[in-house]
Amino acid sequence: MAVLIPAWNPGAELTSLVETLIQMGCRTVLVVDDGSSAGAQPVFQRLREMPAITLLRHAHNHGKGCALRTGFQEFLRAWPDYDGVITADADGQHAPEDIARVAAALAASPTRIILGARPFPSTMPWRSRLGNVLTRYAFRAATGVMLADTQTGLRGIPRTLLPELLTIPGDRYEYEMAALTHWCCQGCAPVEVPIQTIYHDHNRSSHFHPLRDSYGIYSVLALHRLRGKSRNPPR
């Protein structure tokens, strides 16, 4: 299992996640420090001391999409024997056992995109719950595909699809939506695997900017809708 984690000013939950993944047998963890501040450097120093860790760094913060592309490029270069990679978030929202579940699904279907799909319970912060519901229906209008969770960062991506991800535009959270929209418009509807919904302290550790990042995400969907992208039947 290879796991890619983009990180900007992470807390101790990142080191705890990586330690557990290694204990579970993960052989490769690639962390991209997306221009974190000096205050976060002890976290990265602890990661450097762990086995199976590759740590890359951006000198300045460029956004999650840019960090993911950096990670994909390094993965393609350095690990030619892996069939795919798992992307996960650094803020503790993805349990190690759920990451392993997505990895197992990718190993069983190495040509399919795997999404870790969260249920949306009433205990989820209302802003997050409303945003996910609205995005789910906007995504269906743009692509013709209904997914339970369009904004999950826990994804299993086949190696064969990574080169084209290097060409998809978007430096922040809209990049993940652009990738998902591209796949579905090409007829590659993902397989969804149920995972836990985890929110710490009302999701205060998230770097998602409600106005700026929501605008970016909905702009991606609106553009695809206006362009009238061909909708092939999902395979």
Q: How far apart are CA 127 and CA 131, in angstroms?
A: 6
CATH of the domain at 204: 3.90.550.10
Which residue do the tokens 């197992």 mark?
104
Is 135 within a domain?
Answer: yes
pTM of structure:
0.86
Residue range 120-178, pLDDT digits in tens: 765 666 666 777 788 888 888 888 899 999 989 999 999 999 999 999 999 988 999 99
pLDDT digits (tens, 9 = 90+) for 193-222: 999 988 755 445 455 565 566 767 777 777
Residues 6+ apart with CB under 8 A from 223: none
Considering the domain boundaries, does residue 117 fall inside one? yes
Q: Which residues are 54's β-sheet partners?
A: 30
Give the total number of structural domains in the chain: 1
Cα separation, 184 vs 231, whole angstroms: 8
Q: Which domain holds residue 111?
A: 2-227
Whether 233 is covered by a domain: the verdict is no
Is 232 a domain residue? no
Phi and psi torsions of 14, nearest 5°: -70, -45
Calpha distance 57→41 (Å, rounded): 11
